[in-house]
Structure formats: C-alpha cells, structure tokens
Structure 1
C-alpha cells in the first residue's frame, strides 16, 4: 500500500486521536466527509493501519515487563509464532543479530513474569533466553502516562474497553448494542474512560508506510548515571522507544529510520555519547505480533 500526502495526513491525525469524527478529520486534512470516510476505510482494509484502544497497563494490572533476546536451535519462525501465541506477549519480531527473536512480555508482577520467561525457555527450539527487566518506560508512543483518574471500573466499563481494543472506531450505536446500553450511555461511559486516562484510541501503523521501514533494536551499557544519557538519547526523533532496565544493559530501545544508513549514523551518534560504554544492536526483519489488548491467564 502506497500512501500519498493526504493519506499520511489522515494517519497522523488518527495516531493522535483514533476516534476523530469524519467531519473533524475532513476539516483537518482538507477533504469532503465522504472522501475522508473512504480514505479511512481503505487504509483500514489494507491491513497496514489499525485503530485500537490501548488500555493503561494498571487497568489490566500488567505492571511488570521484560525484553527478551531469544536464541534458537533450528528455524526461528515456529518459535516466534509459539511465543506470539502467549497472552503475555504483546510484541514479537524475527531479527538479524546475535539472537534470532526479540519479544516483550508483560505480566502481573515479577512472579508471573518469571513463569512467562520460563514458559519461553521451555519451548521446543529455544536454546537461550536473555531477559532485560524493564524498570521504567522512558519513551513509548503507546504508553499512557500517570495513573487513570477514574473510580473502580465495573463490568460494563470493561466490556466497552474489550470492544474498543478490537475496533477503536466502533460507532457508539453499535458499541451500545454490544454492551447492553443506550447509545447516549455508551457515549458517556466511553468519553469518561478516555478522558480519565483509562485508555487511548489511536492508529497503529506499519512503520514502512510512514517511510520508516527499517527498525533497529539496541541495548546500551553505561559507565555512570543513567538519567542524563537517557534524556539525551530519548530526545532523538529516530529513537521511537526507550526503557530503563536491569540485566546486561541499562537502556533498551528501538530506532525507526528511513534507511540502514540512517540507522548506522544513529548508532554511531549513540556510541559517541558521553557515558555510553557499549551499544549492542539488532535489525528487526519481520514483525510477528504487535497487540496491546492483552489479558493474562485468570484475568
């Protein structure tokens, strides 16, 4: 799918607010309402753009996470697919580097995270698992900041979140029918959840559609304190994700770039930063899974 300038404008607006009305979206991108609706439907049908609700991790109690570098004996793709089938894994990729697979796990506390890591280790074909335990998400376009400002959620609230995780642009009338409310009540509940920071509806877009088709992961070992280096690296446009972690490195993240040359330059700039001892890197070859509508066993 090739995106023209207007498509890109539509996508950028939906990345900020995935539930913008067609009227508002049309005004912002300079099209008629029917033309805007047709553009959005074409983008969604093409598979490169999904509009979903990203629920605050605290709501799902998924407060602990880890980045896993996974070595395999034999083909990597079947192992990656098996990891992607785990409910604790929102993100799995096939990579080129010292390890064949990179994955993120999220869980309800360290004990559950440890069990999930052991489940990965026990998969047929896995011969090494090197986890980096996340301490703090420093830069993440999909992470909601702060704590949700909404009282205890009831069963209907959770049904609304479940539906919006599957389709963030679900019309209020259809949402109301699915959760057993009137359209007005469904709208009021949804706005309360979104305004309260419980969830955010946004567009997930394949990076190549935005001209950022090369994704490179990195892990940084530091010589001194972390915060200054983290603020510096996290301010770079090409660094799309950054976490403080413990394990073999103090920082882990992702570079989203337009070319391998741009990746190489970014890595060189990183290695030249004061306080950086070493940088490990890997190239993401294929995105196997990217989903944020996670529930864990027993939830």
Structure 2
C-alpha cells in the first residue's frame, strides 16, 4: 500500500495518540471528517496500520526479557514461525548475518524466561541459541517512559485493556457493551488507565511505509561504563530501540533507516564512539511477528459484522 503525504500526516498523529477523534484528526491534517475517517479505515483494512493499546509490561507482570540470536539446521522460516506461535515471543524476524533468526522474549520473571529459552532450544531445527538478558530498557517506541503509578487494577480494568489491545479505537459505547459498564463509567476508567501510564494507544505502522524500510539490529561491546554511550545512542533518531543487557554484549538495539547508506553511516558513527570496543550487526530481512497484545500467538479476532456496522461512523472519544 502506498501512503501519500496526507496519509503520512494522519499516521503521525495516530502514532502520538491513537484515540484522537476523527474531528480532531481532520482539523490537524486539513481534511473533512468523512475524508479523514475514510483514509484511516482504508489503512486499517489493508493491514498497513494497526491502532492498539500498548500496556506497560509491569502491569502484565512481564518483568523479564531477552533477545535471542538463533541458528538453525536447514531452513529458518519454519523455526521462526514456530517461535512466533509462542505467546512469550512478541517479536520475531528472519535476519541476514551470523544468525538466521532474532527474537524477543518477555515473561513473568526470570524463572519463566529460562523455561521459554529452553523451549526455543528444543524446537525442531534449532541449532544454537545465544541469549542477551535485558537489564534495562533504554529506548522503546512501544514502552511508556516511566513505570505506571502504583494502582490496583480490578477485573473490569483488565477487560478494558484486553479489548483496547485488540482495537485501540473502539468507541466508548461499544467498549462499554463488551465489558458490561455504562459508557460514562467506561470512559472514566479508560482515561484513568491511559492518564496513569498503564497503557497508551498508538498506531503501529510497517517501517517501509514511512520511508524507513531498512532495519538493522546491533550489539555493542564497551570498554567502560555503559551509561554515557547508551545515552548518546538513545538520542540518535535512527536508533529506534535500545536496551542494556548481559551476555556477549553490553547494549542491544535496532537502527531504522531510509537507506542502506544511512544504515552504514549510523554503524560507522557507532563504531567511532569512545569506549565502544566492538559492534556486531545484522539485517532484519523479514518481520515474522510484531505483536504486543494478549493474543500475540495469533491474529486478533475481527469484530462481528453487526458491531462493525453499528460503530462505523463513531469516534472513540
């Protein structure tokens, strides 16, 4: 799907706040409300854009994570798809580099993380697994910058989050029907969850549609303290993800760039940083899975035809 200048303007607004009303969105991009709604719906229907709630991992108890580099016996595609079927694996790619597959695991504690890594090791076709255990998330476009304020979530809160993780633009009226509350009570609870840092709603867009179709992973080894280098790398626009880790490297991350020369320039700039003793890199060739909702092992269910018809012209707010 090709996105024109106006589509990109719409996407940028939804990446900041995925629950903007069509009226507000239309004012910001200079279109009528019906035209804005039509563009959003076209992008959603094509699969080029998804608008979902990203719930802070701490809320789900996902306190441990790791990045795995995986080599295989034979074809890597079937192994990548088997890993993608694991709910603990929100991110899986086929790569060009020393290893054939890169994946991220997120689990409830390190004991479960160890079990998930062992499960990957035992999958048919897996030859080697090299994990980098995350100690701190330094930059993540899908993670709120601070842990959410301490709050007790009840069953209704969790049901609201579950629904918004599947469809972040659900109108309050439909969301209320699904969770069994009034529209007013649902709105109040939802805003409390969003304002409290429990979750944020945003658009997920394939990078190539934004002119940033080249993704490169990297692992950095350091000679000194990690913080000064990490702060510098996290400030670069093309570094879209960064975490501190334990293992063969001190930092692991992702470069998202508009071209191969831009990727190379970023890697060269990284290698030139003081205290960087080595940089390993790999190209992400095929994104097998990128899902951070509770139905991560399978596509989110589509709404029923009746519900879709009833809310087709409704705003989320």
Fold match (TM-score > 0.5)? yes
| Regions of 4+ moved over 3 Å | none
What is the correspondence of 1:132-211 to structure 2 with a 5 Å cutoff?
A: 132-149=132-149, 151-211=151-211
The two structures have a TM-score, normalised by structure 1, of: 0.97
Partners of 1:217 and 1:147 in 2: CA distance: 26
Contact 2:165 2:294 in 1 (8 A): no
Contact 1:132 1:246 in 2 (8 A): yes
Q: Which position in structure 1 is the counterpart of 2:261?
A: 261
State the Cα distance separating 1:163 from its structure 2 match. Answer: 0.4
Contact 2:139 2:234 in 1 (8 A): yes
SS of alignment partner, residue 197 of structure 1 = coil
SS of alignment partner, residue 248 of structure 1 = coil
Q: Which position in structure 2 is the counterpart of 1:14?
A: 14
State the Cα distance separating 1:295 from its structure 2 match. Answer: 7.5
Q: Which position in structure 2 is the counterpart of 1:129?
A: 129
Q: Which position in structure 1 is the counterpart of 2:79?
A: 79
State the Cα distance separating 1:146 from its structure 2 match. Answer: 2.1
The two structures have a TM-score, normalised by structure 2, of: 0.92
TM-superposition CA deviations, 1:231-290 (whole Å, max 9, x none): 111111110000000100000000000111111111111111111001000000010110
Partners of 1:139 and 1:192 in 2: CA distance: 25
Partners of 1:246 and 1:295 in 2: CA distance: 29
TM-superposition CA deviations, 1:50-105 (whole Å, max 9, x none): 00000011110001100000000011011000100001001000000000000000
Q: Which position in structure 1 is the counterpart of 2:67?
A: 67
Partners of 2:70 and 2:128 in 1: CA distance: 6
Partners of 1:254 and 1:147 in 2: CA distance: 22
Sort the Cα spacing of 1:218 and 1:143 in 2 relative to 1 into closer, same or farther, 3 A: same
Sort the Cα spacing of 1:91 and 1:119 in 2 relative to 1 into closer, same or farther, 3 A: same
State the Cα distance separating 1:228 from its structure 2 match. Answer: 0.7
Q: Which position in structure 2 is the counterpart of 1:31?
A: 31
**Would you say how many aligned residue pairs link Structure 1 and Structure 2?**
296
Contact 1:88 1:294 in 2 (8 A): no
What is the correspondence of 1:200-279 to structure 2 with a 5 Å cutoff?
A: 200-279=200-279
Partners of 2:224 and 2:294 in 1: CA distance: 36
State the Cα distance separating 1:227 from its structure 2 match. Answer: 0.7
Partners of 1:280 and 1:161 in 2: CA distance: 38
SS of alignment partner, residue 236 of structure 2 = coil
Partners of 1:99 and 1:268 in 2: CA distance: 21
Q: Where in structure 2 are there 5+ consecutive unaligned residues?
A: 297-317
Partners of 1:167 and 1:185 in 2: CA distance: 19
State the Cα distance separating 1:150 from its structure 2 match. Answer: 5.4
Partners of 1:4 and 1:208 in 2: CA distance: 13
Partners of 1:128 and 1:149 in 2: CA distance: 40
Contact 1:219 1:252 in 2 (8 A): yes
Contact 2:51 2:204 in 1 (8 A): yes
Q: Where in structure 1 are there 5+ consecutive unaligned residues?
A: none
Contact 1:58 1:147 in 2 (8 A): yes
